[in-house]
Amino acid sequence: MSKINLPFIFHSPFSILHSSLIILFAFIFTYSAHAQSKPPTDSLALPDFLFYTLKDSTPFTPDSLQANKPIVFIYFKTDCPYCHATSLNIVNGFDSLKSYQIVMVSNHTTQQITDYIAETGLDKLPITILRDRDNNMHLYYRFDYIPLICLYNRHHRRIYRKEGKITVKSILYRFGQGED
C-alpha cells in the first residue's frame, strides 16, 4: 500500500483545525466587508455620491445640494437619443421646473458633455451638470436603461424612479402637480 502525500496543512489534527479556523475567519471577514460596502441602491434615501463639476472638477456630494428643495436627478449619455429627447423636454418646459433643483450627470468626457449641453440648450439654464468621472453611478443605482430619472422630495427622499425618457408634464405629475 502506498502512502498518500497530503498538503502540509492536513498532517495533524491541529493543522486541520488551524487551517479551518483561518478559512472561516477569512470568509467572515470577506462577507462582512462585502455587506458593508453594498450600495444603497434599494434605499429611498439619496445615495452618498461623489461627482465633479464641469468647470473646475470640484467634488459635488449630497451636501452640495440645496436644502429643502426637491430634486430632479437625471443620469444621461451624450450619444443617447432618449437622453436627448429628455433634455429637450427639460429645456422647453423649464419655466414649470424652476422650483426644483435639476441635477444632470454623465460619465462622458468633459468636452462631450460641454458640447451636448450647448447643442441641447441646457447651458442656458440654471441647472447643475456633473461628471461621473469615476464611473460610480452603477454603485449608487442599479439600472439597465438610460436616461435614469430619480425624483426626490424636499427631504431628499426618492418618490419616483424611471429608466427611459420623461416629459416635464410627467415630472410635475410625480411631484403632485397637474395630470400625467
d(CA 52, CA 59): 5
Instruction: Give Cα separations from 30 to 19, 33, 118 (angstroms).
Output: 16, 5, 46
pLDDT at 2 over 80: no
Residue 120 has pLDDT above 50, yes or no: yes
Q: Tell me the mean pLDDT in the region 123-152.
A: 93
Higher pLDDT, 127 or 44: 127
Q: Which residues pair with 150 in a beta bridge?
A: 73, 161
User: What is 51-174's CATH superfamily?
Assistant: Glutaredoxin (3.40.30.10)
59-84 pLDDT tens trace: 999 999 999 999 999 999 999 999 99
Sorted by where each begins, the domain ranges of the chain are 7-38, 51-174
Task: Give residue 141's pLDDT.
Answer: 86
| pTM of the model as a whole | 0.75
The average confidence (pLDDT) of the chain is 84
Distance set, CA 156 to CA 55, 74, 159 (Å): 25, 15, 9
Angle at which helices 81-92 and 110-120 pack, to 10 degrees? 50
